[in-house]
């Protein structure tokens, strides 16, 4: 889960990293009050979980409290790359002398975290990394040792950062470890004309797997801005809404992704991703069907199950029971393969639901579901 800038700022502050004075609001009127408290002149920053805010007009300087209110009114509700701005952060402007870049990020290939630092921070860091890689230091961190003052010193020296940044590098590592983050980034880390080192903007990505020991963070508020996704999440389903007309149910993330591809290859668009896992019980099948059938864009539904540990006859029983509780309104194409496939198919044949048809191969079933969706 990505944090908002203001949440990242709060975390940095808790771990002793100096940040600008700032407050968050969703109201232009309150923005005026905040600006007054912060001394009048403020930077108004859209709080969205995407990059390129500045270029999209989501970051603006306001000269006084009245201007802050006006600017907040403009920015709130703005759409930035599909993200609606619900809150703005107002921050005291900082007198910047130099901008640096520092981050810790997971290096999947090496299976450890990597410190990335550059003396040339700011908006163009990605371009710097692409055109002059030598200006960006990349140093792997030993997971058992972590970042000590000595390691931080090495990172700062390699990247050409001033010695005052060593303390920030150590504290930033603490943020990464204590909060179970997969990424912490400060860009820019600035030195002010007064010589202070300050984290001006930050990005933190937390590990969803660590929620069981990181109780303070609730669910991601942007995760389910779609009503169907919210309904599916409430039923504990692993569902992602897509822009198509063939509803998809399958077992196992890899097989479901593959199913989306095969349906797309048949000239139709998948309406969703839904992984019902290995068990494929009647309840989860019914829950999944009801969410998919409530999607008005769906014209046909493709159930693609490979019977492994849960054999196909058990899956077929689950489908039959689900059809007792959910009223089927759209054609359902079922492909069962794997253990006890013949018995599973016989169970569905016997049930003989008028809207259910079986195709024995994945490719053939995808073709059928695509036809039904595009001719309906």
Tell me whether residue 41 or residue 269 sits nearer to other proteins (CB atom): 269
Least separation in angstroms between CB 210 and other proteins: 4
Contact call for residue 342 and other proteins (CB under 8 A) = no
State the catalytic residue, choosing from 23, 69, 185, 245.
185
251 known member of a binding site: yes
Q: Enumerate residues 173-212 that contact other proteins by CB under 8 A.
A: 177, 180, 182, 207-210, 212
CA atoms within a 13 Å half-sphere pointing along the CA-CB vector of 53: 24
Contact call for residue 256 and other proteins (CB under 8 A) = yes
- Strands (DSSP E) contained in the chain are 22-25, 42-46, 59-62, 79-80, 83-84, 88-91, 96-107, 112-118, 136-140, 181-192, 197-199, 202-206, 238-241, 246-250, 272-275, 300-307, 332-338, 356-358
Contact call for residue 371 and other proteins (CB under 8 A) = no
Stretch that binds other proteins, among 101-109, 117-125, 166-174, 289-297 (CB under 8 A): 101-109
Q: Enumerate residues 37-76 that contact other proteins by CB under 8 A.
A: none
Active site residue 101: yes
Stretch that binds other proteins, among 39-47, 60-68, 284-292, 337-345 (CB under 8 A): 337-345
Tell me whether residue 69 or residue 185 sits nearer to other proteins (CB atom): 185
25 known member of a binding site: no
3-state secondary structure of 22: strand
DSSP state, residue 216: T
CB-based contact 246:302 (threshold 8 Å): yes
CB-based contact 126:113 (threshold 8 Å): no
Nearest C-alpha neighbor of 201 from the set 7, 1, 338: 7
Active site residue 104: no
Contact call for residue 370 and other proteins (CB under 8 A) = no
CA angle 267/270/276 to nearest 5° reads 140
53 known member of a binding site: yes
Stretch that binds other proteins, among 8-16, 301-309, 321-329, 348-356 (CB under 8 A): 301-309
Q: Which residues of 117-140 are buried (b: 16+ CB within 10 A; e: fewer)?
A: bbbbbbeebeebbeeeeeebbbbe
Q: Which of 251, 302, 313, 330 binds other proteins (CB under 8 A)?
A: 251
Rg of the chain in Å (alpha carbons): 26
CB-based contacts of 40: which residues, under 8 Å, 6+ apart?
Answer: 63, 64, 65
Please report, for the chain, how many H helices and E strands are present, in that order.
Answer: 12, 18
310 known member of a binding site: yes
State the catalytic residue, choosing from 4, 101, 104, 239.
101
45 known member of a binding site: yes
Residue 171 backbone phi and psi in degrees, to 5? -70, -35
Contact call for residue 254 and other proteins (CB under 8 A) = yes
Least separation in angstroms between CB 260 and other proteins: 4
Which residue bears the tokens 């259910």? 356
Q: Which of 7, 258, 358, 374 binds other proteins (CB under 8 A)?
A: 258
Q: Which runs of consecutive H residues, i.e. helices, occur in 282-361?
A: 282-293, 312-325, 341-351
Tell me whether residue 30 or residue 208 sits nearer to other proteins (CB atom): 208
Q: Which residues are annotated binding-site positions for substrate?
A: 251, 308-310
Q: Which residues are annotated binding-site positions for ATP?
A: 45, 52-54, 94, 99
Q: Which residues are annotated binding-site positions for Mg(2+)?
A: 187, 201
List residues near other proteins by CB under 8 A.
Answer: 106, 108-109, 111-113, 142-144, 177, 180, 182, 207-210, 212-213, 238, 240, 242, 250-258, 260-265, 269-270, 273, 275, 306, 308-309, 337-339, 361-363
Catalytic residue positions, numbered: 101, 185
């Amino acid at each position: 889960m990505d944090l908002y800038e203001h949440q990242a700022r709060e975390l940095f502050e808790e771990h002793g990293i100096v940040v600008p004075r700032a407050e968050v609001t969703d109201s232009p009127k309150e923005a005026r009050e905040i600006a007054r408290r912060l001394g009048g002149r403020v930077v108004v920053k859209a709080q969205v979980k995407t990059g390129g805010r500045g270029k999209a007009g989501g970051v603006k300087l306001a000269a006084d409290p009245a201007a802050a209110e006006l600017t907040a009114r403009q920015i709130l509700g703005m759409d930035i790359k599909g993200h609606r701005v619900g809150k703005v952060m107002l921050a005291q402007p900082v007198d910047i002398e130099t901008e640096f870049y520092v981050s810790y990020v997971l290096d999947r290939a090496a299976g450890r975290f990597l410190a990335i630092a550059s003396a040339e921070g700011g908006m163009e860091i990605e371009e710097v990394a692409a055109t002059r890689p030598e200006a960006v230091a990349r140093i792997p961190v030993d997971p058992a040792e972590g970042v000590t003052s000595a390691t931080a010193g090495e990172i700062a020296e390699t990247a050409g950062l001033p010695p005052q940044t060593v303390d920030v590098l150590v504290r930033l590592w603490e943020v990464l470890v204590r909060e179970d983050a997969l990424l912490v980034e400060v860009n820019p880390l600035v030195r002010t004309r007064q010589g202070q080192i300050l984290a001006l903007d930050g990005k933190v990505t937390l590990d969803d797997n660590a929620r069981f020991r990181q109780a303070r963070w609730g669910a991601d508020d942007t995760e389910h801005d779609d009503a169907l996704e919210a309904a599916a999440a409430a039923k504990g389903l692993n569902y992602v809404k897509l822009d198509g007309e063939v509803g998809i149910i399958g077992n196992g993330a890899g097989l479901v992704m593959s199913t989306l591809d095969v349906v797309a290859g048949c000239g139709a668009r998948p309406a969703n991703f839904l992984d019902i896992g290995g068990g494929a019980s009647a309840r989860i099948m019914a829950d999944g069907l009801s969410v998919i059938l409530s999607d008005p864009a769906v014209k046909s539904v493709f159930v693609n199950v490979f019977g492994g540990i849960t054999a196909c006859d058990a899956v077929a029983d689950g489908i039959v029971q689900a059809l007792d509780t959910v009223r089927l309104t759209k054609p359902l194409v079922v492909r069962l393969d794997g253990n006890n496939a013949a018995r599973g198919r016989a169970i569905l044949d016997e049930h003989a639901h008028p809207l259910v048809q079986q195709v024995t191969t994945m490719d053939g079933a995808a073709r059928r579901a695509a036809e039904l969706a595009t001719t309906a």
